[in-house]
Chains A and B, each alone.
Chain A
Amino acid sequence: MKKFMNLFKKDIKELVTIQLILPLIIMIAIYGFLGTLVKSETKKAMAPQNVVIVDMDKSAFSNSLIETMKQGNLIPVQSQSDNIEISLNVAKEKNIKVVIVIPDGFGQDVLSFKQPEIQVYSVMNSFSIMSMGQPSVVKGIIQTINDSISSQFIGEKFTGIPPEIVKSPIKTKDFVMVNGKVAAISPDIVSQAFASQNLIIPIVLAFVIIFSAQMLASLIALEKQNKTLETLLTVPIKRSLIVFSKMLSVGVVALIISVVYLIAMNSYMSGITGGSIGFGNNNVSAVLKQVGMNFTPLTYSLLGLSIFFAILAALSVTTILAVYAEDLKDVQAMLAPLMIFILIPYFLTLFTDPANLSLPLKLILYAIPFSHPFLATQNLMFGRFSPVILGIIYQILFSFVCIMIASKIFSSDRILTARVKFRKRLLSK
């Protein structure tokens, strides 16, 4: 144990270098900055916005329309001129994005059902998401006004009947049944809540698996490149412990980095979506809880095990591949096949429903040990525990076989001669 800890501490020291920490700090700072920036921009966009009003009608009806705008988060700025061009210039000078022109006779035309036009000018000087949202806010207000006017008309014709009932004589009430539990909630809300809660998991998972595989391959390649491997193989420690120390040190460092990455990503995503995506969102959790789709200690444990064994499987395959890497330059080439097998389940589970895949694709997906944590979230939330448990058993067996092969390679000549043979084979072709 003492010898193992001696090696483990050295491997950690090899991994935790300024080259690892600096990009990590930069990444956290960038994600944090972007999240805060987008959050403040969203806040600005949500704040009451100025709109220039050119009221050519100046009737009681147009006044009431302007009052309605005030209630709808807009600050009407009355134009001093009825000239549209002058008003547009005023908007440009004052950096106001929308100009609304209420035509002469507007109130009269509404009352005589002539469907008058309100002209909406959008002053565009960028294509950012925030600036693009402005005209739709105005259109939403117009829609509200339309509803209000039509309700007024209906109220006059059908006295004693609420206008809403005349507009929608039939109403629906949504129920959703999940895992035998019924809740009065719309399926759209449930699926949106599920998607928002679980968007981050695959991104972080793919990142962690790829990152840890690269770290391990680099650690082994570095032993070869620095010519320290030969010496290490002659010290009195079991070869399997050399392999295990490298895998464990990478596992620990990858775990810490992934937690940091998760926090940074979560802050970024919740910044972008105004808090609707990400962990710790109470509204989303409450929606999922209503239909029994919330995480329990058991589901968390199973998901954790599935992720842990996916990482272990990736590391064990990496150890075998890294034997063929002579130095750090070779690492990327050696890991390319592994990357493909990590990205296949990532994209398949992101863009398709695994249950509807063809049989060969399904078999490929289940045969890849890294697929299982991607599939586990959905299965666990729908109470399908068997595929998750079977997946974990498969991952354990896969990792065990690969670790045995890796230990065997470390105990054989291959660890020193594999690359030579590999190069010779390439040359002979």
Chain B
Amino acid sequence: MLALEVKNLTKSYGSLKALDGISFEINEGEIFGLIGPNGAGKTTALRIISTILSRDGGDINIFGMALGKDDEKIREIISYLPEEAGAYKNLTGIGYLNFMAGFYAKSDGVKSSFVDTGVEIADLGDRLKSKVSTYSKGMTRKILLARSLMMMPKLAILDEPTSGLDVLNSIEIRNIIKDFVKRGITVLLSSHNMLEVEFLSDRVALIDKGKILETGKPDELKKKFGARNLEEVFIGAMR
């Protein structure tokens, strides 16, 4: 089954065309990477798919549900991790996980199993009892990733998941994402770090100036452009 189907998506901010008719599909259980430079339109695409921005044109279907018609149902099966996300500073880490789990769990039992999963992902030990305002950037990002994945969303939309993190934290987060896909979720992620996307993704789409330049498996794209990595693929695709 297709997890996500994007057809001819367009979006403008005044005279600026952020998305110029992009189309791509993601299969269930896949990690799909949207890669491109800053300002390419990645975040706009992710925000539209996450139901928080409207689109000017095109169609989007998420697990068979049409965006614009079934938004509330869609929000129950997706989770979105924005690039510059934060958590409520007055809440403790565990309090934040409990608060967010409260929107998805149908019963207290389910809620506590979501929170247990969140605690496992965050791996912050006793610091989960501290207020989020005392967390480092890496700890905040981990608690936010835990929030995004703990309820096992059918589609996790992650915008620059390792943004601003050091190497160790980035590796840890990449491993968590890979592990959760094995457990059955589908991931759409965006990054301008092409090496990271190459490591994580089953398939990628190269986006620039609101247009998709190429879509395919990293190895196929590298072969097509005679490149050693996705960065070289991107340069080749831009020519």
- Interface residues of chain A, those whose CB is within 8 Å of chain B, are 2-3, 6-7, 10, 13-14, 17, 226-228, 230-231, 233-238, 412-413, 416-417
- Is the pair A13, B53 in contact by a Cβ cutoff of 8 Å? no
Neighbouring A residues of B88 by C-beta, 8 Å: 10, 14, 226, 228
Please state if B52 and A416 are interface contacts (CB–CB under 8 Å): yes
Contact A6 B52, beta carbon cutoff 8 Å: no
Q: Is B37 an interface residue (CB 8 A)?
A: no
B85 contacts across to A, CB distance below 8 A: 227-228, 230-231
Residues of chain B lying within 8 A (CB to CB) of residue A233: 51-52
A3 to B78, CA, bound (A): 17
Residues in A neighbouring B82, C-beta threshold 8 A? 227, 230-231
Interface flag for B199 (CB, 8 Å): no
Check B90–A234 contact: CB distance below 8 A.
no
> Contact: B104 with A413, CB < 8 Å?
no
- Please name all residues of chain A whose beta carbon is closer than 8 Å to the beta carbon of B90 when the two chains form the complex: 13-14, 17
Task: Give the complex CA separation of A7 and B54 in angstroms.
Answer: 24
Residues of chain A lying within 8 A (CB to CB) of residue B89: 226
B23-31, B95-103, B122-130, B228-236: which one contacts chain A? Answer: B95-103
Number of interchain pairs (Cβ within 8 Å):
66
Chain A residues whose CB sits within 8 angstroms of the CB of B190 once the complex forms? none
- How long is the Cα–Cα vector from A412 to B55 in the complex, in angstroms? 11
Asked if A231 contacts B80 (CB within 8 A), the reply is yes
How far apart are the CA atoms of A10 and B102 in the complex, in Å? 11
Given contacts A227-B84, A417-B13, contact A236 B103 (CB under 8 A): yes
Q: Secondary structure of the B side of the interface?
A: loop
Across the two chains, which residue of chain B brings its CB closest to A226? Answer: B86
Chain A facing B: main interface SS: helix
What residue in chain B is nearest A16 (Cβ atoms)?
B90
Say yes or no: A234 contacts B52, CB within 8 Å: yes
Instruction: Kindly list chain A residues whose C-beta atoms are within 8 Å of the C-beta of B87.
Output: 226, 228
A227 to B80, CA, bound (A): 13
Report the bound CA distance from A6 to B52 in whole Å.
21
Q: Kindly provide the distance from the CB of A422 to the nearest chain B CB, expressed in whole angstroms.
A: 13
Residue B79 CB within 8 A of the other chain: yes
Partner of B104, one of A7, A236, A412: A236
Q: Report Cα–Cα, A235/B53, bound state, in Å.
A: 14
Say yes or no for B50: interface residue by CB 8 A criterion: yes
Query: Is B76 in contact with chain A by the CB < 8 A criterion?
Result: yes
Minimum distance in angstroms from A187 CB to a CB of chain B: 55
Q: For residue B13, which residues in chain A have a CB less than 8 angstroms away from its CB?
A: 417
Pairs A-B, 4 closest by C-beta atoms: A6-B102, A227-B86, A236-B75, A235-B103
Contact B72 A236 (CB under 8 A): yes
Interface string of B35-51 (1 = CB under 8 A from A): 00000000000010011
- Write the nearest CB–CB distance from A132 to chain B, whole angstroms: 50
- Which residues does chain B contribute within 8 Å of A230, judged by CB atoms? 47, 52, 80, 82, 85
Which residue on chain A has the smallest CB distance to residue B100? A235
A234 and B86: CB pair below 8 A? Answer: no
CA distance A2 to B119 in the complex (A): 23
22 A-B pairs whose Cβ atoms sit less than 8 Å apart in the complex: A6-B102, A10-B91, A10-B99, A14-B90, A226-B86, A226-B87, A226-B89, A227-B85, A227-B86, A228-B87, A230-B52, A231-B81, A231-B85, A233-B52, A234-B52, A234-B78, A234-B79, A236-B75, A236-B103, A238-B72, A413-B53, A413-B54
Known A14-B90, A226-B89, A234-B79; judge A6-B103 contact (CB<8 A): yes
The CA of A3 and the CA of B99, in the complex, are separated in Å by 9
Most buried by A among B47, B84, B85, B90: B90
Cβ contacts under 8 Å, A412 to chain B = 54
